[in-house]
């Protein structure tokens, strides 16, 4: 049996709601799902309009909340920008930065100059990421919207029918190891880059069929989570640990199969707990941290 890595803080990153152009879900829905999933933190990342200025969208949502069980929930606010080289998540920035539509490395430079760090989301979807030599700080190796897009195609009616009668089985058929993204991360690490791996929920709760919600926040929040080492549940401290690359990813959906997992160590030093002969993954752990 392979032991799961112990975590003190559990959260979900890359969440959209009503301030984004592609979601009309209220913040109350986000909070309710976070409470039910027993999260310690979540990170909102609304899309930035080209003409936006001032505070980040949903900046007023940042802060500590109290779950019904009395435990705290910390809400952090970042942003998602569109650049000439693909989308970028910007974290730990004080407000809107005028980077929309600029070359990727210029946008990253501006994010760094503002004291933040930049993560490439869904690097092979929605146009993907083009400038792999740009100095981004992290990459999403899991993105839940990309997972759900696997259901599209000629078999969509059958997959919807299965989802109606066997929701867990339907998700299991989609929730497979993200081979291409993990290979890209390994290549970056082996080249000497200090790039952190992230799990992006990319949650919008914006897909429904005849009133049936196909992407509810709660299902997304429970499926795959970000786990971080012990530390204070405070904004500055949490940004720092996320930036450091010390956090890891757990496919919570497969947690009850931990005794079946096989530990696989890669040349970069990172570790995966794999299931089904590598077709699925339970945990993705970073390599040992080296001095910056």
Cβ burial 8-45 (10 Å sphere, 16+ → b, else e): ebbbbbbbbbebbeebebebebbbebbbebebbbbbbb
* Domain spans, the chain: 9-285
214-250 pLDDT, tens digit each: 678 999 999 999 999 999 999 999 999 999 999 999 9
* Token pair belonging to 86: 């693909």
Assess whether pLDDT exceeds 90 at residue 289.
no
104-141 pLDDT, tens digit each: 999 999 999 999 999 999 999 999 999 999 999 999 99
Fold of the 9-285 domain: TIM Barrel (3.20.20)
* Distances, alpha carbon 126 to alpha carbons 88, 89, 120, 121, in Å: 12, 14, 12, 10
Q: How far apart are CA 68 and CA 47, in angstroms?
A: 30
Assess whether pLDDT exceeds 70 at residue 158.
no
Q: What pLDDT is recorded for position 165?
A: 57
Confidence of residue 18 (pLDDT cuts 50, 70, 90): confident
Q: How far apart are CA 233 and CA 10, in angstroms?
A: 11
């Amino acid at each position: 049996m392979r032991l799961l890595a112990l975590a003190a803080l559990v959260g979900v990153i890359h969440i959209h709601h009503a301030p984004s152009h592609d979601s009309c879900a209220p913040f109350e829905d986000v909070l309710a799902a976070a409470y039910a999933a027993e999260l310690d933190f979540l990170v909102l990342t609304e899309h930035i309009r080209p003409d936006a200025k001032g505070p980040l969208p949903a900046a007023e949502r940042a802060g500590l909340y109290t779950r019904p069980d009395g435990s705290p929930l910390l809400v952090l606010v970042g942003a998602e920008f569109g650049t000439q080289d693909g989308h970028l998540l910007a974290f730990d920035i004080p407000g809107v930065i005028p980077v929309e539509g600029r070359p990727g490395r210029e946008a990253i430079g501006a994010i760094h100059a503002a004291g933040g760090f930049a993560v490439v989301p869904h690097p092979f979807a929605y146009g993907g990421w083009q400038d792999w030599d740009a100095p981004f700080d992290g990459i999403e190796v899991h993105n839940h919207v990309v997972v759900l897009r696997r259901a599209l195609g000629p078999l969509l009616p059958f997959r919807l029918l299965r989802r109606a009668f066997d929701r867990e089985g339907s998700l299991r058929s989609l929730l497979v190891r993200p081979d291409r993204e993990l290979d890209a991360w390994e290549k970056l690490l082996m080249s000497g880059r200090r790039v952190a791996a992230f799990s992006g929920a990319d949650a919008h709760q914006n897909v429904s069929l005849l009133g049936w919600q196909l992407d509810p926040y709660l299902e997304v929040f429970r499926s795959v989570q970000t786990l971080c080492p012990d530390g204070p549940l405070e904004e500055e401290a949490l940004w720092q640990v996320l930036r450091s690359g010390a956090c890891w990813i757990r496919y919570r959906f497969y947690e009850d199969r931990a005794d079946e997992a096989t530990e696989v160590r890669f040349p970069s030093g990172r570790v995966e707990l794999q299931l089904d002969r590598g077709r699925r993954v339970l945990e993705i752990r970073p390599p040992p941290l080296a001095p910056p």
